Chain A
Amino acid sequence: MLDGPILFRPAVERRPDITIRFEGRDIPACAGESLVTALLTAGLLTGRSEFDGTPRAGFCLMGVCQECTVWTSAGQRIRACMTEARPGLDLRTSAPFETFAS
């Protein structure tokens, strides 16, 4: 559902050396590169507009527009453009609100 177009084209040679999880899927990434690079070069969207479901994939890339917001499985909200990839990251595209559901 979150498959999207490949948006980012690496400008320099990129050698993924770690794996992060996104919506339950393993995504190759380079330690220290931004999450937005890992996601957009892998052909993934960062999410969808909560009001019309249209795909979103970042816009300003400098922490202002908040359109690349993703959540960690622990519930923390992060901007993919302002956060570096690190091993063990487990990301999802919407706030984990299971605690409300019970």
Chain B
Amino acid sequence: MSLPQLPPVIVGAGPAGLACAATLVEAGLRPILLDEARRPGGQGTRRLSPAMMPFAEQFLGRAYANKTATREALEDRLLTRCDWRPGTLAWGIFEDRLEVVQDGRHDSIRFDQLLVAVGATDRLMALPGWTLPGVFTLGGAQVALKQHSAFIGQRVVMAGSSPLLYLAAAQYARMGLRDLIVVDTSKSADKRRAAIGMVLSAPGTFAEGLLLLAELRRRGVRRIEGAELLRVNGTNRVEAIEIRHADGRVEALSCDAVALGHGLRPETQLAELAGAKLKFDPILRNWFPETDEDGRAGDRLWLAGDSAMTGGRIAAAESGRLAALSMLAARGMTVPADAAKLRRRVERLRVFQQRMASAFRWPSHLAAELPDETIVCRCERVHAGTIREAVRKQAGPVEVNRVKAITRCGMGRCQGRFCGQTLQELTASTSGMPVETVGRLRAQAPVRPIPIEAAMEGDGL
């Protein structure tokens, strides 16, 4: 087999993609770097809107704001040395071609080395009332502030089982939102059990978490721990979220906005279309692509960042760098770097995330308790009861893609991203099968809707 000749292609300009690009550039290559967004940064390290920029110190804290400014300046310089293609949606991969839509036009990019680093989105469990205006994802609540320069409401409840609840709440509080409640549905006993392991694997990250908690206390943010989410109430908008406290007491927290998040769900569709195999991770209770320790997932395919394995910002960057080293090695090139050290660091940070996942558990048990009238698929309006009925019926399926075919759950515009996790758990709990045996929604191109007219010209074939 001949050595790769084409420029490496990187999908996703978040921490993983940018770090990979930086290493490739260092070796003298000019990678093609593309992102659906107009600006680099990804989600967790999404850049602030121009309107928010004057408040960067207030929002990020002085030290981190300075670090961020330095990093973003470096990234800007890096982009001039890449074939940077913002506003470019990668929608499919077939053999050695990446299919994209850039500014409304289709293009096809041939590659012999591809890094997919498209990150993760919020992992959600359906909740009665979650389609009401004013309910957003937890990631969405952060994007509202960073990019849309707005709070999702005046009286906000951030709820779920995720360490990101605390970060998002701190960001809102720093920007002056006072009426804010965090409902952390994870149990304090779980967190205590996981704490030692977290300290051991990534003491720095653990300390950051403690600082956040202290900050929220200082800012007077109410925090409820170990509660269960029952429903979002309201007629044409969010009016309250009803919760059951750990002691059994039911309380309706009056609010005009709710942010929901139970951790992160990797965006694996592109990797799957490129041929990556997915395997079930019992601790995270979810499916992740298989890679070697450097993120290689095939002859032409590398994966890094949260779309490969939940690990957070730093692990993402380090895994991007590792992937770059592996890509370079496949080209017979090297740059000075300690790959072994990078591997250890990525591994430690990912172990930390695993411990974190046992502290902030995915509330799989809630699927069985969802009332039948709960909308599970927001796009196609499919109820929990419909899914249960399909699974229970004679000649019915206990495989989620068949449940999708029969109920339409997961067939809508978001392509199963926000209902898929609930669908897996509902199918499992209704059939009595372990969740890893009922499968997961298979990826289908296009991984995002694409306009028909995009095909009309400039298809690059």
Contacts and interface: CB of A to CB of B under 8 A. Distances in A.
Interface of A: 4-5, 7-12, 14, 30, 32-34, 36-37, 40-41, 45, 49, 51-52, 54-67, 69, 76-77, 81-82
B363 to A, nearest CB: 19
Given A41-B150, A59-B137, A49 B131 contact: yes
A10 B451 CA distance: 32
B150 A40 contact: yes
Given A49-B131, A60-B136, A67-B378, A8 B144 contact: yes
Given A12-B55, A60-B122, 6 more contacts: A5-B134, A8-B144, A10-B150, A14-B149, A61-B148, A67-B413
Contact of A59 (B135, B176, B449): B135
Interface in B416-461: 417-418, 448-449, 451
A55 B379 CA distance: 12
A45 B134 CA distance: 10
Consensus secondary structure, chain B interface:
loop
B342 interface: no
Contacts of B257: 7
Interface string B121-139: 1100000000111111101
A56 B51 contact: no
A65 B417 contact: yes
Nearest to B451: A77
Given A9-B150, A34-B147, A62 B121 contact: yes
A7 B134 contact: yes
Given A4-B237, A34-B148, A49-B131, A9 B136 contact: no
B136 A58 contact: yes
Size bracket of the B interface: 35 or more
8 contacts: A7-B257, A10-B151, A12-B54, A52-B381, A59-B378, A60-B139, A61-B143, A76-B104
Interface of B: 36-37, 43, 49-52, 54-55, 104, 121-122, 131-137, 139-141, 143-145, 147-154, 175-177, 236-237, 256-257, 378-381, 412-414, 417-418, 448-449, 451
Which has the most chain B C-beta neighbours within 10 Å: A12, A33, A49?
Answer: A12
Contacts of A37: 148-150
A8 B152 contact: yes
A94 B224 CA distance: 41
A61 B54 CA distance: 22
Contacts of A59: 135-137, 140, 378, 418
Nearest to B135: A59
A25 B133 CA distance: 21
Contacts of A65: 137, 378-379, 413-414, 417-418
B267 to A, nearest CB: 9
A5 B256 CA distance: 9
Nearest to B257: A7
A5 B236 contact: yes
A62 B36 CA distance: 10
Which has the most chain B C-beta neighbours within 10 Å: A45, A58, A77?
Answer: A58
Nearest to A34: B148
Nearest to B54: A12
A11 B140 contact: no
B126 to A, nearest CB: 12
A81 B49 CA distance: 13
Contact of B413 (A8, A54, A66): A66
A85 B429 CA distance: 45
A12 B121 contact: no
Contacts of A76: 104, 451
